[in-house]
């Protein structure tokens, strides 16, 4: 295995461990997450069709992942959404090197299809948008699992996917621009601290008259 392949795998495994425990950006440098976007871009540039080939998710799961990510962070008049930012590709790459995430995300999609089948006699992708929303609203809040324990698997799945979607989005070029983050700027010269404005002196309090 080449050095580059080992480095790629190490980065993805590190990201996967962080994602499996909490938001990845709180436990590892953002540069590692950004590097995963660069991996995706390099693959797309090398592909004749400019396409990304999922590393873990099967075709149906891949379509579900794309739709769910875009539902979590849709495009608006200010910037693109999760799909335009490459969040699904980011999630697929990270998941491909972490068995815990593979079980949780693929298992969550099976649960989602089963839940839609029980309610609407159709899989998630085949349901109407309002039906999809109804199911997702039920698993979007942890308190719902307390009221209905049968939703626990779905709640944990959607919570994990939401965290990963945000991580994938806000480490992308689109996400960074959406935050209006400008980063540190290199200064060619140092002119010192800006001058402190003159302040009017504060009058001393009058002494209290002693009787």
Q: Identify the top-confidence range among 76-80, 116-120, 144-148.
A: 116-120
Q: Using one digit for the tens of pLDDT, what is the confidence trace for 90-108?
A: 999 889 888 889 999 999 9
Query: Which pLDDT belongs to residue 11?
Result: 60
> What is the band of 1 on the pLDDT scale with cuts at 50, 70, 90?
very low
> What is the band of 204 on the pLDDT scale with cuts at 50, 70, 90?
low
Helix, strand, coil percent values for the chain (each to nearest 5): 65, 0, 35
Query: Which pLDDT belongs to residue 2?
Result: 44
Query: What end-to-end distance do the CA atoms of the chain give, in Å?
Result: 92
Phi, psi of 163 (to 5 degrees): -60, -45
Biggest CA–CA distance in the chain, Å, is 95
**Burial, 117: exposed, middle or buried (Cβ in 10 Å; 0-12, 13-18, 19+)?**
middle
Query: Which pLDDT belongs to residue 60?
Result: 97
Q: Using one digit for the tens of pLDDT, what is the confidence trace for 131-187?
A: 999 999 999 999 999 999 999 999 999 999 999 999 899 888 888 787 765 555 544
Chain centroid to CA 3: how far?
28
């Amino acid at each position: 295995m080449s050095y580059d392949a080992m480095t790629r795998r190490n980065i993805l495994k590190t990201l996967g461990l962080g994602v499996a425990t909490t938001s990845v950006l709180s436990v590892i440098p953002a540069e590692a997450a950004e590097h995963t976007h660069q991996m995706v871009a390099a693959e797309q540039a090398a592909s004749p069709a400019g396409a990304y080939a999922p590393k873990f998710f099967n075709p149906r799961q891949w379509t579900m992942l794309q739709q769910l990510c875009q539902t979590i962070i849709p495009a608006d008049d200010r910037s693109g959404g999760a799909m335009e930012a490459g969040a699904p590709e980011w999630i697929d790459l990270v998941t491909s090197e972490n068995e815990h995430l593979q079980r949780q995300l693929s298992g969550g999609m099976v649960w989602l299809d089963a839940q839609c089948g029980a309610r609407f006699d159709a899989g998630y992708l085949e349901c109407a948008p309002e039906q999809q929303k109804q199911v997702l609203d039920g698993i979007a809040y942890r308190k719902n699992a307390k009221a209905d324990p049968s939703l626990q698997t779905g709640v944990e799945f959607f919570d994990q996917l939401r965290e990963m979607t945000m991580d994938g989005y806000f480490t992308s070029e689109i996400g960074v621009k959406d935050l209006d983050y400008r980063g540190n700027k290199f200064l060619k010269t140092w002119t010192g601290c800006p001058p402190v404005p003159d302040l009017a002196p504060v009058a001393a309090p009058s002494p209290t008259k002693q009787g």
